Amino acid sequence: MRIGIVPVTAFQQNCSLVWCTRTLRGAFVDPGGDLDKLHAAARQTGVTIEKILITHGHMDHCGLAGVFARQLGVPIEGPHPDDRFWIEGLDDPDTRMGLPGESFTPDRWLGDGDTVTVGALAFDVIHCPGHTPGHVVFVHAPSRVAIVGDVLFQGSIGRTDFPRGNHSDLIHSITHKLFPLGDDIQFVPGHGPTSSFGHERRTNPFVSDGKFG
Ligand SMILES: [Zn+2]
Ligand SMILES: [Zn+2]
């Protein structure tokens, strides 16, 4: 498994290109915009893109995912159906906060415990509501890597002041669904630098072990 990060949109959202080194087949996770950059990344790696994965329905993560899927001729998997209202809202210029975008219908909605494949790789799907109600996280356990969207950041956590955001759901998602996967899991957040669950358990002021005993 390999992973490359391409920051996209004015929000510098970390779009990930993940691929299987055995089959050279890959997927973009959260291709929210700047599609020219993403096409270039795919060309540069020589990877055949077989699908698009979405963590949640926010514009910087999926505003142009529908357009990109049409250009590439690939399906979209994710997020959880509780984010349907966010994705339908992509047709509303106010919801998009100035970014280009349009709504789409995922080819497959995801739920807790589902598996998504990329080439010969299998990612576990974990439903982590709080930042949005239908947010999912993708974990490749053999590589000890997670792609967590806007659930958890280095030193911070996702905002919960959006419609249907919920702070206690978010804390529960992080401390009961992500941290038990292991301190050694490295994660790619939706924005900013990568980190590990162990580092956040020690130092993150919102979700550290010190805060929750
Ligand atoms: Zn978000
Ligand atoms: Zn974001």
Beta strand pairing call for 156-157 and 186-189: unpaired
| Cα–Cα distance, 140 to 50 (Å, whole number) | 17
Cα Rg of the chain (Å, integer): 16
What pLDDT does residue 126 have?
Answer: 98
Sheet with 145-149, strands from edge to edge, namely 115-118, 121-127, 136-140, 145-149, 186-189, 195-196
CA 22–ligand 2 middle distance (angstroms): 31
Which ligand lies nearest to the CA atom of residue 11 in the structure?
2
Q: Return per-residue pLDDT of the chain as tens, 213 residues.
A: 999 999 999 999 999 999 999 999 999 999 999 999 999 999 999 999 999 999 999 999 999 999 999 999 999 999 999 999 999 999 998 888 888 999 999 999 999 999 999 999 999 999 999 999 999 999 999 999 999 999 999 999 999 999 999 999 999 999 999 999 999 999 999 999 999 999 999 999 999 998 875
Q: Which residues have beta carbons under 5 A from ligand 1 (an ion)?
A: 58, 150
Q: From ligand 1's centre to the CA of 135, what distance in Å?
A: 9
How many angstroms is it from 139 CA to the middle of ligand 2?
18
- Which residue, among 50, 79, 43, has the nearest Cα to 151 in the 3D structure? 79
pLDDT computed for residue 211 by the predictor: 81
Which pLDDT value is given to residue 213? 59
* Span from the CA of 58 to the centroid of ligand 1 (angstroms): 5
